[in-house]
Amino acid sequence: MSPTVVSRGTVTIDVERCKGCELCIPACPPGVLHMSSEVNRTGYRYPRLSPGCTGCQACHAVCPDYVFEVYKYDRPQLTEVSPGPVPAVGGAE
Amino acid sequence: MSNRSTEPDRGQEVRIEGARQVASSRADLQVSEDHHLCPGCGHPVAWRILLEVIQELSLAQRAIGVVGHGCYTNIVRMADIDFLQCLHGRAPAVATGVKRVQPQAAVFTLQGDGDMASEGLAEVLHAAARAEKITAIMLNNGVFGDTGGQMTAASVVGQRTKTSLEGRSPELHGYPVPVAELVASLPGAAYVARSAVNTAGGVAQTKRYLKRAFETQTSGAGFSLVEVLTMCPTGWFVPTAAGPGYLSDSMQPTYPTGPLKDSLRPA
């Protein structure tokens, strides 16, 4: 049986407005944001969300480019993730 | 609000099944999310919480901002409130005039450290000494960002800038000017605080201080000042992701954050 991750919230990410500053990555308390390996139209890498968001709004608070909108789920969402290393990380770390 | 209709649409509203939105990318008083400030800049974060505070205190219809010269001046293009731009460093003097003819207005200045500490130190000190009922907001990033990153009076010792490439040296350049402490020492200043926007907690703290500063103004207690430490990775010659760490390691030892004076809440 594959492990499940609880998401109490989620974010939308306006990737075209992102300037790739990466301030959201360490600001995220559950550490579910990672940088993409692909780039947007202006040539910047942008954050991507893995399951496990708590909807705490920390990314929204620190983002200088107003990229994030934050949502809270009425009921926590369970996501099955494949065992082993967490989703392919885009090379930010 | 007049100019909102001329702005392009916000794009499609996102609806997520079984979820409610708790934070929007655009503050209520914001007409656009687009700005041309560098990646990793701390100013837009300060802009957003300033607009949120004005909205939450229901001051939108009577807020008048007075801005100096700097990167932060671009707030006039994206905020749905009235602004005046004035000579470099003279915002507190202009705000004094605005407040005296419009006493019901919520008048604030938005200035940088180059503007307030280097160009217009006299204006802010005299406005505070006269106990003008205005709110001064200083976005301190330690450089003249708009003109290319020169050293300001508020650059910390050892800080590398375009005009202090070997780092600010006390022998050659002297010591930084702690504006918040100077203003707090004046009896006319009713509320003085310093915060930073390098972490989510710091952003929340900044919002509380700004709210308190505007409450001080509307209560008529006197002059209020909030110094906000912001990141300028371009001017600091550091990668964008290293900006918040540089702020806490280099600036915060010189500029400790926290409330310095609150006359509404006697100690």
Which SS3 state, helix, strand or coil, does residue B245 take?
A: helix
Q: What is the domain range of residue A56?
A: 4-78
Q: Is B19–A71 a contact, with Cβ atoms under 8 angstroms apart?
A: yes
Among candidates A23, A57, A72 on the partner chain, residue whose Cβ is nearest the Cβ of B241: A23
pLDDT at A80: 84
Averaged pLDDT score across all residues of chain B: 92
Q: Which residues contact B197 (CB under 8 A, 6 or more apart)?
A: A62, B42, B45, B46, B49, B203, B206, B228, B229, B230, B231
Q: What is the CATH number of the domain that holds A66?
A: 3.30.70.20
| Domain membership flag for residue A51 | yes
| Domain membership flag for residue A93 | no
Residues of A with CB under 8 A from a CB of B: 9-10, 12, 14, 17, 19-23, 25-27, 44, 55-58, 60-75, 77
Q: Please list every residue in chain B whose beta carbon sits closer than 8 Å to the beta carbon of residue A27.
A: 199-200
* pLDDT > 60? residue B11: no
* pLDDT > 90? residue A89: no
Q: Please list every residue in chain A whose beta carbon sits closer than 8 Å to the beta carbon of residue B20.
A: 71-72, 74
d(CA B198, CA B93): 30
pLDDT at B14: 72
pLDDT at A82: 75
* pLDDT > 60? residue B257: yes
Q: Does ipTM surpass 0.95 in this model? A: no
Express each pLDDT in A22-57 by its tens digit: 999 999 999 999 999 999 999 999 999 999 999 999
Q: Is A19–B24 a contact, with Cβ atoms under 8 angstroms apart?
A: no
Provide the CATH number for the domain formed by B24-147+178-262 in this structure: 3.40.50.970
Express each pLDDT in A54-88 by its tens digit: 999 999 999 999 999 999 999 998 988 876 555 54
- How many domains, in total, are found in chain A? 1
CB pairs under 8 A between A and B: 99
Express each pLDDT in B186-244 by its tens digit: 999 999 999 999 999 999 999 999 999 999 999 999 999 999 999 999 999 999 999 99
* pLDDT > 50? residue A16: yes
d(CA A85, CA A81): 10
* pLDDT > 50? residue B5: no
* pLDDT > 90? residue B97: yes
- CA end-to-end distance (rounded Å), chain A: 29
| Domain membership flag for residue A73 | yes
The nearest alpha carbon in chain A to B44 belongs to A64
